[in-house]
Structure 1
Amino acid sequence: MQAELDISQNKALLWLMAIACGLCAGANYYCQPLVHSIQQYFHVPESQVALTVTFAQVSYALGLLFIVPIGDIVNKTKFIPLLMSFAALGLLLCAFAVNLPMLWIGTIIAGLFSVAAQVLIPLATMAVKPEKTGEVVGFLMSGLLVGLLLSTSLAGLLSDLFHWKVIYAVSAIFMFILAFLLSTRLPTVTTFKMSYHRIFQSMVQLIVEEKRLVFRSLIGGFAFAAMSILFSTIAVLLTSKPFELPDVMVGVATLIGVFGALSTTKIGKIADQGYTNSLTWIGIAILALSWGFLYFGGTSLISYILGYGIISLGLAIVHSSNQNIIFRLRPDAKSRINSIYMTTYFTGGACGSALGIYAWHHGGWTMSCIVGLSLVIGSAFFAVLDRLFLNKTQTTQ
C-alpha cells in the first residue's frame, strides 16, 4: 500500500495536488454567482437556471459513487489526469453553450469527472506515514475549499469584466495543464485486483460492517446540506432588494470563507492527536451559531458575510474530523470509503440546494434559515449516535 516516495516531503507535489483539488471543486460552483447573468443571456426563468447548481452537485455525487471507487483497482497516476481531462471537456462545453440544456450537459460532464480530487486525496493518504494523514488531508482540503470559494469570486469578476462564459474557458485550459503536470509527477501505489461489480459488493459490505463510516457520512451530509442552502440562495438574495449586488460582489461576499478553508491543515494536525470527537462538536456548535448571523443577514450584509465565514469554518472542522476517522478504518479500501462518505456528503449538498430553493419560494429567507438550522440539528443527532457506538465498542473491547 505504500507509494514509491513519501509525498509529505515533496512540497511542490503537494501544492500541485492541492491546486488540482481546488480547480476540480471549483468547476462545480462557477454558476452560483452567475444565475442572474445566465438567466438574462438565455432568457429563461431564474428558477430553471438555479437548477444548474443542483445538477452540478447531483452529477458530482454520481461520479463519487460510480467513478471514485475505481481508484482502488486502477493506476491512479493515469486515472486522475484522465478524469481531469474529461472534466475540462465538460467545462469547454459550458463555455460554448448556445442554450441552457447545453450548459446543463456541460455542467453534468464536468461534475461527473471533476471527482478526480476525491481520488487524489485517498492517494495522498496511501503515500504518507499514518501519523501525517490528518495534516496532509487537511492541506489538500485547504486547496479544495479555497478553490471552491475563489471560484465564485473569480466567476463573478470575469463575468463583470468580460462575459460569464469566460470562467469556464479559462478553467478548462488550466485543468488540461494540471492534468498533464500530474501525469508526470504522481507517485505509484499498489492497486488491488477486483472486478467493477465486486467493488460495489465490497462497498455494501463496508456500509454494513463499518458503522462509524455510516454515522460520519451522515454527519457530513447533513452539515454540508446546511451550508448548501446558501449555495442555491446567495445569488437571488444578494442581487435582490435591499442589497442588489452585481455578480462580482456576490462572489466577493463569499471570500470570508477562505479563512475557514485555510484552517483545515491545522485542524488536521489536531485531529491526528486524537481530538476528533471534540472537534466534531465544536464544528457543529459553530454551524448552529452561524445561522443566527445568517438570519439577520437577510437585511444586513455584514451579518450575512460573518455568518458565511462562520459556517465555512464549522463545516471545515466537521469535515476534517470525519475524514481523519474514516481513512483509518480500512487502509486497503480508502477510495471506496471515500466514495461512500463523499457520495453521502454531496448528496446532502444537492438536497440542501434543492431545499434552499424550495424554502426560498415558500417562506423567503426566514424559512431558508429554519431549514438550515434543522439540518445542523440532524448532523448533531448522528454525532450522538456515533459517540454512543464508539463508547459501546470501547466498553466491549
Structure 2
Amino acid sequence: MNKLSNSVLYLMSFSAGLVVANLYYNQPLLHQIAVDFGVTESQVSHVALSTQLGYAFGLFFIIPLGDKLSNHKILQFDFVLMVISLLVAATAGSLWLLIVSSFFIGFTSALPQLFVPMAAQLSDDEHRGRAIGIVMSGLLIGILGSRVISGFVGEQFGWRTMYYAASGLMVLLFALLRFKLPRLKPQFKGSYAALLQSMIHYFKTEPELRLASLRGALAFAGLSVFWTTLVFLMEDNFGYGSTVTGLFGLLGMVGAMGATVAGKLNDKLPKQRILLFSTLLLIISWCIFLVSGHAIFGLILGVVLVDLGMQALHITNQSIIFSKNPEGRNRVNTIYMVSFFIGGAVGTTLGALAWQHYQWTGVSILGLVLSVLILLVLLLSKNRE
C-alpha cells in the first residue's frame, strides 16, 4: 500500500478547499452580475442554482470514475474543462452563457470528493480517520473562505476578476498536483455503464452504507433547516441583515478544526461511541436553539455545537464506508454524498415551511426531531456496525 506523506495529505486538503471554492464565488457577486446584465435578482439567481446542479451531476458522473480510471487522467480532463468554464464565465457577454458555464464550473468542482476516498486509500488503517479529517478540514475552509474572498475581490475589482483569478489558480494547482500526487491504478475493468450500475449493488448489499447514508441525510437535513431559516430569525427577532448572518458562517471554522480532531478520534475510539456522542451534540444544540429565539449568545453556542456534531458524524460515516469497501471507495462515496445532499434539499424545503407556519419554535422542533431520528437509527442498528 502506498504511504501517504504529510506533504501530500496537506496538498490534497489545500486542493480540496481551492477547488470547492469555485462553487461559492458567485454567491456574493450576484447583485453585481444582475446590474451588469440588467436582469432581476430572480433571473440572476439561476447562476447559483446552475452551479449547484452542475455539482450534483459531477458528483454522480465523475466521482465513480475514481474506481475505474487513473486519478491523473481524471484530473487532466477535469481541470481542462474547469479552466475553460471559468474563462467563459469571466468573458460571458450574456446571462445565459454565464449560467451554462456555471453549470460546468459546478460539474468540475465535484473533484474534492475524489480526494477524500483517495486519502483513505493511500493511508494505512491506523491513520485513515486522521487523513479523512484533514482533507475535510481543507474543504470546509474553502467553502467558508470563498465567499469572503469573492466579496472583497468583486467589490474592489469587479465580478469578472474573480473568475479570471480562479482560472489562474486552477492552472497552478493542476501543475502542482500533476507533479506531487501519487498515481493510483484502480482495479475495476468493466464499462462505464457497468460502473454506474454497480452502485445499485453496493447500496443493496451493504447495510453499513445504507445506515451511514441515512444518518448523513438526516444530519445534513437538520443543518440545512438551520441555515435556511437563520436569516429570517436574525431579521425578524434581532433586526440584523445578511451581513451579520454571514458572520455566523465564520463560526464554521470551529467545525473545520473539529473535523481534524474527529478524524483522529476515529483511529482510536469505537465508531459507535463517536456516532452517539456526535448525535447527542446535535440534540443538545437544537435544545439550545429552541430557547434562544431572542438570545444571540445561545445561537452562537448552538452553531458551534451543531457544526461540531455534524462534522464528527460525517467523518465517522465516511470512515466506516471506506474501511469496508476498499475496491469501490469512490462509488460508495458517491452514494453517500448523493444521499447527503438529498437530505440537505429536503431540510431546506421543510425548514422554510416550518418557519412560514410556526416560526423559530417550529424550526427548532423540526431540527430536534431530525436529530432524535438519528439517535433512533443508531439504537435500532447498533449491532450492524
TM-score range (shorter-chain normalised) is 0.7 to 0.9
**2:384 aligned with 1:389, yes or no?**
yes
- For 1:212, the aligned partner's letter is E
- Tell me the alpha carbon deviations over residues 274-318 of structure 1, each in whole angstroms, 9 at most, x when there is no partner: 421111121122222223444566545444333322221111100
Q: Structure 1's 202 and 146: CA in aligned 2 closer, same or farther, altered over 3 A? A: same
Partner of 2:170: 175
**Counterparts of 1:194 and 1:77, CA distance in 2:** 19
Say if 2:287 is the partner of 1:282.
Answer: no
Taking structure 1 as the reference length, the TM-score comes to: 0.84
**Amino acid of the residue matched to residue 206 of structure 1?**
Y
Is 2:212 the partner of 1:216?
Answer: yes
Task: Work out whether 1:271 is the aligned partner of 2:266.
Answer: yes
Q: 1:351 to 1:38 in 2, by over 3 A?
A: farther
Decide whether aligned partners of structure 1 residues 350 and 180 sit closer, same or farther in structure 2, where only a CA change above 3 A counts. Answer: farther
Q: Which of these residues, 132, 140, 143, is aligned with residue 135 of structure 2?
A: 140
Equivalences, count: 384
Match of 1:259 in 2: 254
Q: 1:105 to 1:350 in 2, by over 3 A?
A: farther
1:122 aligns with 2:117: yes
1:304 corresponds to which of 277, 299, 303? 299
Which one of the candidate residues 341, 344, 348 is aligned to 1:346? 341
**Contact 1:220–1:318 (Cα < 8 Å) also in 2:** yes
Change (3 A) 1:230 1:375: same
**Contact 1:34–1:156, Cα closer than 8 Å, also in 2:** yes
**Corresponding position of 1:393:** none
Gaps of 5+ in 1: 391-397
Question: Structure 1 CA distance, aligned partners of 2:14 and 2:353?
Answer: 34
- 2:231–2:242 CA contact under 8 A, matched in 1: no
Q: Is the 8 A contact 1:221 1:345 kept in 2?
A: yes
Superposed displacement of residue 120, structure 1: 1.6
Q: Which amino acid aligns with 2:58?
A: G
- The alignment status of 1:29 with 2:39, answered yes or no, reads no
Instruction: Map residues 166-245 of structure 1 onto 2, 5 A cutoff.
Output: 166-192=161-187, 193-233=189-229, 238=234, 242-245=238-241
- CA-CA distance at 1:242 after TM superposition: 3.7
Distance in structure 2 (CA, Å) of the matches to 1:362 and 1:89: 45
- Measure, in 1, the Cα distance between the counterparts of 2:290 and 2:310: 18
1:80 aligns to 2:75 (yes or no):
yes
Shift of 1:350: 3.0
Q: Which moved more, 1:261-270 or 1:226-235?
A: 226-235
Which residue, out of 315, 327, 335, partners 2:330?
335
Q: Decide whether the 8 Å contact of 2:290 with 2:361 is kept in 1.
A: yes
- Report the CA distance shift for 1:103/1:171 in structure 2 as closer, same or farther (over 3 A): same
Q: TM-score, normalised by structure 2?
A: 0.86
Q: State the alpha-carbon separation in 2 of the partners of residues 18 and 380 from structure 1.
A: 31
Change (3 A) 1:39 1:323: same
RMSD: 3.1
Q: Return 339-348 or 321-330, whichever deviates more.
A: 339-348
User: Where do residues 90-105 of structure 1 align in structure 2 (5 Å cutoff)?
Assistant: 90-96=85-91, 101-105=96-100
**3-state SS, counterpart of residue 323 of structure 2:** coil
